[in-house]
Amino acid sequence: MNVYDQAHMLARALKETEEYREYNRLKTIAYEDSTNKALLDEYKRMQFRMQARAASGEGMDSEDMQKMQRIASLLQFNQDASQYLLAEFRFQKMLADIYKILGDVAGIDIDALTQA
């Protein structure tokens, strides 16, 4: 069996995990509300910008950091949004564990890549 076929099998297996099913279920619920959707989308955009800046050695400016903290506070007190974000974190943790396994096979120290 070729490696791409196995990757597709892994993708199908991931979709069958409890972590993915819960993440997908809670995402649907959280995104049904237009206010939640807008806040979650903005939070994710800011999170991506922050990660991109960190990767390039730049820091996030204090205004953006304050805005992100305000959005995070709003999301934290919204049960649907906070449950979704927690489920997303769990699913991403599983993906990171799998990526580490693959990195180990290739001799890539994933932990070294995530440390500044």
Domain locations in the chain?
Answer: 3-114
Nearest Cα residue to 99 out of 89, 111, 83: 111
Name the more confident of 116 and 101.
101
pLDDT per position as a tens digit, 4-41? 999 999 999 999 999 999 999 999 999 999 999 999 99
- List of E strands, 26-96: none
Is the domain defined by 3-114 classed in CATH 1.20.1500.10?
Answer: yes
Distance CA 113, CA 45 (A): 22
Query: Is 107 in a helix, a strand, or coil?
Result: coil
Kindly report whether the global pTM for this prediction surpasses the value 0.85.
Answer: no
- Cα angle 91, 59, 72 (rounded to 5 degrees) comes to 45
pLDDT at 61: 82
